[in-house]
Structure 1
Amino acid sequence: MRNLLLLVMLLFGLQPTYAQPGFPDLGFGNAGRIIYGLAANTQGISIACLQGDTLMVAGMHYDPVAACFLARYLPDGSPDPGFGVNGIVTINNNFNYGIYCMAVKPNGKILLAGSGGPNPPVQGADVFLMQCHPDGNIDSSFGQYGFVQTDMDSTNDFTFDIAIQPDGKILIGGQFTTYNGASCRYLTRLNANGTRDASFNLVGTGLNNAVRTLALQP
């Protein structure tokens, strides 16, 4: 049976709504929700609000192999016809990977992060980042052909959240203790092009567990 991607999005402040606080906006999608079947075993992972009150959704589907997708929706919940095919861009590559988080840069570029490795896997999972242009195409100027994959430890490594600083640098929080051989204890920072920021040093600090959520102070 085909699994359906179920997105329930409450739009407070994005468009006028007359529903009581805490209730779905019935003017959005179908009675306040969007249901789209993209492929078998589809999973929505992350959502971001873009300029113009559009929404970007990132996720994974496995039909028949793992692939990442981006879907963009208009403020009323309908697919954005100006994005990909019927509002959806599917990204395939030769990695066995999972996307766990997404961040949209001020210039509109889309940064996706998670964990992955060669397909078939060789030894555990590595930290994995991928950058796309605003139209969903892979940005080849980021890392190597749009991808950054780094073996943080000898076992499985995971990226749980990312945050974009005002200067474009990328904070990565997750489950790892080194980055390219340098100690970083579950938090590290990359330059805007995906290379490690050597000026960011957490050696000897007190983080002793995985970082699952990041937030930047104003």
Structure 2
Amino acid sequence: MNAHKKIGDLDPSFGEGGKLVYPGTGIFDSGLKSLPDGKFIAVGWSADKASEVLVVKLMSDGKTDTGFGEQGIIREILIEDAEYSAARGCVHEDGSITVFATQRIDNSHSVIWAARFNPDGSRNTSFGLLEVSNETAENRIGGVCLQADGKILVTVYEVPGFNVLHPFVTRINEDGTRDTTFGLNGSQYFSDEVSFWVKL
């Protein structure tokens, strides 16, 4: 009698027995992004070295892509001695990756930064390091959406006080500058009554 796999069973051909365990203490809370060639990336941050942003690139079989970064992993310090609390990313048509990381300043202040990496995992220095939101309040990143023209939409919650939310969307040009033609100086704010957490 042939044994058939049940729906929901782990795929033993992926990773190790259907699972992939990150070799460290990374936190990846934004899921996987699929690439046109069947590979995947995961964006997160280090739990034991809080100043490191992590990007992992996986082959379609779950093994790390050793031609990317260092053995398939980017460990990048965007800001010295920073502590991150969230990370998101999007993949461009040429295979480059834009990463957004929330730097926690204290319990009521945080700032969101954006950086870009080349398809091989090296840092794209021409993009620079963009401050998406300032540190006048707590800022929580929602979703990231790559438009067909290469511009990026980012949804953010600004939390200036207890139980107060200022949601807004920022648009970034392909070169890492704010798109000042969008909204007010690159950001579209919504009324305090609007409540959303968009996963673009």
Q: TM-score range by the shorter chain?
A: 0.7 to 0.9
* Structure-2 change in CA distance of 1:83 and 1:19 (3 Å): farther
Deviation at 1:162, TM superposition (A): 0.8
Give the structure 1 partner of residue 83 of structure 2: 96
SS of the residue 1:136 aligns to? coil
Deviation at 1:152, TM superposition (A): 4.4
SS of the residue 2:93 aligns to? coil
Deviation at 1:139, TM superposition (A): 1.0
Contact 2:45 2:87 in 1 (8 A): no
Contact 2:45 2:54 in 1 (8 A): yes
Output the amino acid matched with 2:28: G
Contact 1:104 1:110 in 2 (8 A): yes
Give the structure 2 partner of residue 26 of structure 1: 12
- Aligned partner (choices 94, 99, 114) of residue 112 of structure 1: 99
Provide TM-score, normalisation by structure 2.
Answer: 0.78
Give the structure 2 partner of residue 197 of structure 1: 179
2:189, 2:76 → 1: CA distance? 36
Output the amino acid matched with 2:43: A
Deviation at 1:110, TM superposition (A): 0.4
Matched, 1:175 2:162: no
* Structure-2 change in CA distance of 1:138 and 1:147 (3 Å): same
Q: CA RMSD in A?
A: 2.9
Deviation at 1:205, TM superposition (A): 6.8
Give the structure 2 partner of residue 51 of structure 1: 36
Q: Which runs of 5+ in 2 are unaligned?
A: 160-165
Number of aligned residue pairs: 185
Give the structure 1 partner of residue 131 of structure 2: 149
Contact 2:168 2:190 in 1 (8 A): no
SS of the residue 1:176 aligns to? strand
Contact 2:99 2:115 in 1 (8 A): yes
Give the ranges of 4+ consecutive aligned residues of structure 1 lying more than 6 Å apart after TM superposition: 204-207
Contact 2:132 2:170 in 1 (8 A): no
Output the amino acid matched with 2:90: A
Identity value in percent: 23
Deviation at 1:136, TM superposition (A): 1.4
Deviation at 1:206, TM superposition (A): 8.5
1:129, 1:153 → 2: CA distance? 14
2:56, 2:22 → 1: CA distance? 10
Contact 1:100 1:160 in 2 (8 A): no
SS of the residue 1:187 aligns to? strand
Contact 2:139 2:158 in 1 (8 A): yes
